[in-house]
Structure 1
Amino acid sequence: MGIEPIGIVTLLIGMICLLRGSGPTVIAFAIFPVLGGAAALLIGSTGIQPGHFFLVFLLLSTLWLHGNPSFVIDRAFRSQPFIWLVLLVVYGVLAGYFAPRLLQDTTTIVPLGATAGASINGTIPLGPVSGNFTQAVYLIADLVTFSLILAIASTSQGFRHVTIGLLAFGAANVFFGIADLISPGTPLADLFAYIRNSTYTFHADESVAGMRRIIGSWPEASSFAGVSMAVVGYCGTLWICGRHSKVSGILFVVSCILIVRSTSSGGIAGLPICLAILYVTSLFRSGGSTGTRASFAIVLAFPIAAVLFVFVLILSGDVYRLVYDFIDVTILSKPTSLSALERGSWNASGISNFFDSYGLGVGLGTVRTSSFAVALLSNVGVPGTMFFLLFLLTGVLLPRGIPRSYEADVGLATRNGCLCLILGALISGSTVDLGLIFFVMAGLCSAVPLGVRVPASLPA
């Protein structure tokens, strides 16, 4: 076991935050998941990310120094989404231990984690793999994160701290994206040597259509684009609702540009859907005495801009050819690439594992896929998928708070952020774990600060 330089930095920041109070601690915790390619601690071939390492400091702050354990437990057990998430975690952990042993050698899998003896196409007979343990740890960390954020955001001050923390996460993601874009040949390249120290395979020097791909602080472009889509959904909604509009507006626009510049097929294909979600949000958020200028401007300007863009493509052959070539390289030709064929074979294998396990799944962390939906079905089967969908319905999709209030607008922003992140995972997600930042947003979305009235049609 060894601690890396980024781990020392995480440790120092954690100790300072504990001394400063709960606010700085939760804001720092919301930022650290951006270091998705870093390892704060190395235990053999397994790396512990700074976000998971900093979770210890959030626990100490919330349950001991600056919080009340009974309050955290009370808020958690009063929450429906917490119960469904507990059931998902329990089923996932049990399935991850028993399924690969009970169904051993009954089918072949594309394993998650380092496994010896794989065939030419990367498959091995079903059996326990290292991913069973690591994914169980990640899912338990997700549950702890959701519980703590739910309790912290149950106070008005804590609610604002988490809101600011998510904005800071978006700013950090944009910073690393821009830094990666301009880093070749500059001292910034040395910065990434410290935050790309995990055991993952990094795709930092790949190019598409003569453009170097952006991966930011993540292992690959698809990971960077997927997280940036969550930033687009969250910051774009805050800007539409007129909340923290100067910061959120800038982060929204820059994140959109970075997604396109990353040349990630999933990001480029998913971004229009994210923008469509934001446009629908603008339709419902405009009008009335509490409507915002941003939402009204988007409702009017977006159709006009779309028509003008189509006219430019029709009238200018050079622009049309430039746009078409870019879309062709990043999306249209992608299904015939070697990586797409490989990822397609992962999904085909995962679907086969789902049926071979009679719909129960072959165990959490057993199978590698290229779609979050296939990962759910193949790893935790129908029961785990139902638990997640119920968690999503009760924790993310149901509105909370007084409509068009600050709490309701932030809840709408986190809802859109979660949906955009899931959209990216549906395109290229390889595991059941959606990451800490998803559960930070889900915890904030599920929280109702004390003293805030809830609509009568919803449970308090």
Structure 2
Amino acid sequence: MSWPAVLLWLAIMAAAASRGPALLYLVLITGSIGSMQMLPGSGGGANLLPQSACAALLIGKVLIQRGNITRGTEAALDPQRLALFSAFLIYAVLGALVLPRVFAGMFEVVPVSAFRFGTDILKPSTGNITQSCYMALSYATTLCFTIIGQTDEMRDHFRTALICGAYALIGTGILDFITYTLHISAVLDPFRTATYALLTDVEAEGAKRVVGLMPEASSYGSACVGMLSLILFMRPFYRQGLEQVLAVVAIALLMVMTMLSTSSTAIVGLGVMGGVYGLDLMVRMLDPRNPRRDQLNIEISLIILIVFTIFVSFVVKPDLFDPLVNLVNKMVFQKASSASYVERSLWNRIGWHAFLDSGGLGAGLGSIRVSNWGISILGSTGLFGAVLMFGFIVQQLLAVPRTAPAHVKQFAAVSKLGLLPTLIMYQLAGTIPDIGILAAAVLGMVAATHAVRPASSPDLVPAVRPDPYATPRPQLS
């Protein structure tokens, strides 16, 4: 275990012992550290990342509070909240234990732990256990945020924690770029102790691909886009003044760091985010009753200013954007000619055949590696598992919390919009069925809006103290 891991464990334990929402903030901040092992030694082949460790302690802290086991059980069985996800988890974990043994030796797969280009015959492995644990942790994270996410105070904390997580991503990206430029990248080695392959010193078009403290540029770029999208759509909810400024600066810097990652998945994610934002902007412009029209003039003015600045820059210096255009052309439009694309296409093809060869039942969690989240779900848990998982996600994206106040409905709406780019990026580069801690937390916050209770209920959020801010935050209504 490296010294940063030891220090982080101390910080996590201190946060767990505190009465405030410090663990919630740490969960999102540690999302920027995706390459550090938190277990001593090699961890027996399993990797416990900082965000997973924080999430596990947050879950435990929430569940030991009075009444939360009951609330969690209600949420897990509630058809409007987590019933489909609960059914998926039970089916997927049982399948991970049974399916690799039923279909052992019958068809080829690309193992999750494979470090080489090629395939292997399906057989039970430790990956079935570790991937089941990762999925169970994501489910428990969703359940945890469903329990605690029913109050305005927790929604405020969640939005603020997103900004903290954003600046952690920005800071680690800058640190990676500076250490590489100064040829002192070795100082980050204690943060890069995970046992899987790390691609941290890769260049594209002669420039460093920024990876921050993530395993590779694709992971870092996708994390930046995911955080950027959530803050962009939640920006109207932030308080006027410093908080709004921090949100806007975070949006700008995350966009820069995304481009520096040169990840094709992240660039596509930016395009999806822009398209979703444009459609949402049109809806707000055409609907005079939309409660998120308050800052519409500012947003349109900024868009016009940005477009005008780009136009003037192009007129003054036509070749100014050539490096960016060449980069996008190579990383996105010429991606099919890259070795990475060929390898990942093989993964997807083998994963799809695993789904077909298993008769639609799947090979079990942890049995296959692919590069498409949809194929990963199908190849791992079969058609029934896919129906449950995708049914849960579609339900949370489309369902409206009808009994909630107007500002809670708006929070749910912007959370869903902010999550869409991440879900699309999963379809391009999702290697395992696990939905991840951040997406799980957002889905939990959305699910919580279906059971909002009066904020005055004294035992509603026993895991945290009341909102520490001295002045109440304005809500959209």
1:145 aligns with 2:141: yes
Name 2:150's counterpart in structure 1: 154
Distance 1:100 1:187 in 2: 46
Q: With a CA cutoff of 8 Å and minimum separation of 6, indicate the structure with the bigger relative contact order.
A: 2
Name 1:13's counterpart in structure 2: 11
Distance 1:99 1:274 in 2: 37
| Structure 2 stretches lacking a partner, 5+ long | 456-477
Name 2:333's counterpart in structure 1: 332
| Structure 1 stretches lacking a partner, 5+ long | 453-460
Deviation at 1:143, TM superposition (A): 1.1
Deviation at 1:305, TM superposition (A): 5.7
Deviation at 1:88, TM superposition (A): 1.3
1:389 aligns with 2:363: no
User: CA 1:221–1:399 in 2, change beyond 3 Å: closer, same or farther?
Assistant: farther
Name 1:181's counterpart in structure 2: 177
Deviation at 1:112, TM superposition (A): 0.9
Deviation at 1:422, TM superposition (A): 1.2
Name 1:91's counterpart in structure 2: 91
Name 2:191's counterpart in structure 1: 195
Distance 2:414 2:4 in 1: 31
Deviation at 1:403, TM superposition (A): 9.0
Aligned length: 446
Q: Which moved more, 1:253-262 or 1:318-327?
A: 318-327
Name 2:24's counterpart in structure 1: 26
Deviation at 1:316, TM superposition (A): 6.3
Distance 2:405 2:64 in 1: 35
| SS, match of residue 47 in structure 2 | strand
Deviation at 1:393, TM superposition (A): 2.1
1:50 aligns with 2:53: no
Distance 1:407 1:195 in 2: 38
Distance 1:301 1:25 in 2: 35
**Contact map agreement 2:104 2:121 (CA 8 A) in 1:** yes
Report the TM-score, using the length of structure 1 for normalisation: 0.88
Deviation at 1:262, TM superposition (A): 0.8
Deviation at 1:231, TM superposition (A): 1.0
Deviation at 1:294, TM superposition (A): 4.1
Name 1:428's counterpart in structure 2: 429
**Contact map agreement 1:96 1:132 (CA 8 A) in 2:** yes
Name 1:167's counterpart in structure 2: 163
| SS, match of residue 430 in structure 1 | coil
Distance 1:67 1:174 in 2: 38
Name 1:455's counterpart in structure 2: none
- Matching residue within 451, 455, 458 for 2:454: 451
Name 1:280's counterpart in structure 2: 279
Name 1:359's counterpart in structure 2: 360
Name 2:468's counterpart in structure 1: none
Report the TM-score, using the length of structure 2 for normalisation: 0.85
Deviation at 1:166, TM superposition (A): 2.5
Distance 1:33 1:321 in 2: 33
Q: Which moved more, 1:22-31 or 1:126-135?
A: 22-31
Letter in 2 for 1:251: A
**Contact map agreement 1:350 1:375 (CA 8 A) in 2:** yes
Distance 2:67 2:161 in 1: 18
Deviation at 1:57, TM superposition (A): 2.4
Distance 1:344 1:315 in 2: 42
User: CA 1:204–1:419 in 2, change beyond 3 Å: closer, same or farther?
Assistant: same
| SS, match of residue 81 in structure 2 | helix
Letter in 1 for 2:216: E
Distance 1:239 1:123 in 2: 46
Deviation at 1:376, TM superposition (A): 1.3
Distance 2:111 2:178 in 1: 36
**Contact map agreement 2:2 2:191 (CA 8 A) in 1:** no
